[in-house]
Amino acid sequence: MRVAVIGAGIVGVTTAWELVADGHEVTVYERCGSVAAEGSFANAGVVAPGYGGAWGPLVATHGAATQLFGANGSARLAPRLDIAAWRWLWRQRRARRAHGHAARALQLQRLAHYSRERLRSLTGELGLAYERADGCLVLLRHARDLADAQPLLQALAESGTRHEVVDPLQCRRIEPGLNPDAPLHAGVHLPDGESGNCRQFAHLLRVQAQQRGAQFRFHSRVSNLGAGAPPSLVHVHAPPEESTIVTPADASPGDGPLTQPLPFEPVTERHDAIVVCAALEARALLRPLGVRMPLVAVYGHSVTAPLRHYESHPDIGPRSAVIDERLRVAVSRIGQRVRVAGGAQLGGEASALDAHTVERLYQVLDDWFPGVAHRGHAQRWKGARPMLPDGLPVVGASGAPGVWLNLGHGASGWTLACGSARLLADALAGRDPAFDGADALGVARLR
């Protein structure tokens, strides 16, 4: 089949790989100048099935637009929310109270476990040498944090996730670089968790997909979709100076040209199937087809800086991933850099960093790993996490003929990408899904 994939974030790239590996003729359309250039660019890098992620589950609350929502102020509302954002909050609250919410959450954890195994399988089979480290340690500052973590421990047990509650001494054996003076009551060790450079992985997998015949058309914005047999799309080539350009510093030397020459007038093309992985852009593309996608941007922040090197302190910085459970902030090792990521801001502008969140990231880094980073060379980043009200992605047929969806992974895009891509490819081929209950990820639940 001739298949188009719209979007080249981590979800789009993994989808392109699974489709081309199945023998399809794949073309990827991406408005930016490279893969993983927006929401996948500098995420936390943590893959920890069974744990909700550094941002944790969002909990809608009542009150004014400036009121914080979520645990311990880890999530924030922008000063001005549009009606769509308020409607999303209302739907989210309904979803969390609805019958079957616990079952859906467990299904999400099963997808995360499946996705991690698919990630490891691809890494080994293709020899993808990206920056990664094994293990994840959730830090609990005080006794009350351990008490508050009981639902987390129960969820880990129910999902079959290997974990162990460890004392402060064991925490510091696992992570010798932890500040010995920082208050620490206990930790939850997730030996099967890991941290990794999501963007670098996406570049390497893109090269593998190209070698199998996939085409990547960068600086190409899809402006319109047409359902049918076959479905169609209209794309417009944007000059590099009018689109986001990201130099693929983490890419393989054999990465090849960033794009191929394309005309500047709108072009209509037909494919046998179209897979939409376009994050927030999907809303406008799908609406004319009668597919309403209640996605909102929940923004996360990160700070990435080179690690200092001390001969007397070889264990400076984290060995892998460390999560401050109270403040919902992750500190992870990315090669010779340290990345601290967290926050969940509903609404606002992608270009405007939230000073409160950035300050919290620095605070957590100083609490646990003081003095480890070259702050003068730090990269600060904010990225959208397109999320659906019930917290699950939508994977499968859209209901519009010929159009398929792989969307709404929220803060778990890196965790869920490989598994979701395989599910999508299986669904497109008419194969049974890898595990029972994949129907819970269908678009029908949103109607």
Provide the pLDDT for residue 263: 63
pLDDT at residue 301, as a whole number: 93
Q: Within a 10 A sphere around the Cβ of 445, how many other Cβ atoms?
A: 15
Rounded distance, CA 69 to CA 59, Å?
6
Single residue among 337, 358, 387 that ends a domain in this structure: 387
Determine contact, residues 322/378, Cβ cutoff 8 Å: no
Which CATH number fits the domain that encloses residue 160?
A: 3.30.9.10
Claim to verify: residue 72 and residue 182 sit in the same structural domain: yes
Question: What angle do helix axes 101-126 and 198-211 make, rounded to 10 degrees?
Answer: 60
Q: Return the closest-CA partner of residue 15 out of 430, 287, 420, 306.
A: 420
Please tell me whether residues 325 and 176 are part of one structural domain. yes
The answer to whether residues 107 and 181 belong to one domain is: yes
Domain final residue pick, 339, 364, 387: 387
Contact by Cβ (8 Å): 161, 113: yes
Confirm if 330 and 340 have CB atoms less than 8 A apart.
yes
Confidence category of residue 164, pLDDT binned at 50, 70, 90: very high
Reported residue count of the chain is: 447
426: CATH: 3.50.50.60
Return d(Cα 273, Cα 232) in angstroms, integer: 9
Give the C-alpha separation, 49 to 254, whole Å. 33
Per-residue pLDDT, averaged over 383-396, amounts to 92
- 418 in Cβ contact with 371 (< 8 Å): no
Total domains, the chain: 2
| pLDDT recorded at residue 261 | 56
Residues 217, 307 within the same domain:
no
331 and 426 part of one domain: no
> Using 50, 70 and 90 to split pLDDT, how confident is the model at 50?
confident
Question: Using CB atoms within 10 A of its CB, is residue 177 exposed (0-12), middle (13-18) or buried (19+)?
Answer: buried
Report pLDDT for 69.
Answer: 44
Starting at the edge strand found earlier in the chain, the sheet holding 267-270 runs 220-226, 232-237, 267-270
- What three-state secondary structure class fits 160? coil
User: In which domain, by residue range, is 312 found?
Assistant: 46-194+296-387
Vertex 6, ends 30 and 83: CA angle to 5°? 100
Pairing state between β 329-334 and 2-6: unpaired
Q: What one-letter code names the amino acid at 408?
A: G
pLDDT of residue 239: 66
Query: Are 31 and 179 found together in one domain?
Result: no
- Per the CB < 8 A criterion, the answer to whether 366 and 327 are in contact is no
Terminal Cα-to-Cα distance of the chain (whole angstroms):
29
Whether 307 and 350 map to the same domain: the answer is yes
Average pLDDT of the segment spanning 249-259: 43
Q: Does residue 383 share a domain with residue 320?
A: yes
Query: Are 186 and 313 within one domain?
Result: yes
Predicted local confidence at residue 257, as pLDDT:
45
Q: Rounded distance, CA 28 to CA 245, Å? A: 17
Q: Specify the pLDDT at position 242.
A: 44
Q: Identify how many contiguous H helices and E strands the chain contains and give both numbers.
A: 10, 19
Closest CA relative to residue 135, chosen from 325, 332, 321: 321
Which of 59-73, 249-263, 330-344 bottoms out in mean pLDDT, i.e. has the lowest?
59-73
Lowest-pLDDT choice from 51-55, 135-139, 276-280, 403-407:
51-55
User: Is residue 415 within 8 Å of 47, Cβ to Cβ?
Assistant: yes
Tell me the β-bridge partners of 373: 307
Are 182 and 80 contained in the same domain? yes
Instruction: Tell which residue, 124, 117, 278, 116, has the closest CA to residue 208.
Output: 124
Instruction: Convert the pLDDT of each residue in 354-364 to its tens digit.
Output: 888 999 999 99
Q: Is the pLDDT of residue 56 over 60?
A: no
Beta strands in 198-253 (DSSP E): 215-217, 220-226, 232-237
Last residue of a domain, one of 387, 404, 429: 387
Kindly indicate the confidence band of residue 313, based on its pLDDT and cuts at 50, 70 and 90. Answer: low
**Rounded average pLDDT over 197-221:** 96
Residue 447's pLDDT is 76
pTM: 0.89
**Mean pLDDT in residue range 99-115:** 80
* Packed helices 101-126 and 83-97: angle between N→C axes, nearest 10 degrees: 100
Q: Residue 186: pLDDT band by 50, 70, 90 thresholds?
A: very high
DSSP 370-421: TT-B-GGG-EEEEEEEEE-TTS--EEEE-SSTTEEEEE-BGGGHHHHHHHHH
pLDDT of residue 46: 93
356 and 427 co-located in one domain: no
Q: For 79-86, which contacts have Cβ atoms below 8 Å and span 24 or more sequence positions?
A: 79/348, 80/347, 81/346, 81/347, 82/347, 84/294, 84/296, 85/296, 85/346, 85/347
Q: What is the DSSP secondary structure assignment for residue 58, as one 8-state letter? A: -
DSSP letter for each residue of 135-154: EEEEEE-SHHHHHHTHHHHH
Considering the domain architecture, whether residues 381 and 395 belong to the same structural domain is answered as: no
Residue tagged 């080994």 (tokens): 124
Cα–Cα dist 67/334, whole Å: 34
What region, left, alpha or beta, does residue 290 occupy, with left being phi > 0 and alpha being psi -120 to 50 degrees?
Answer: left
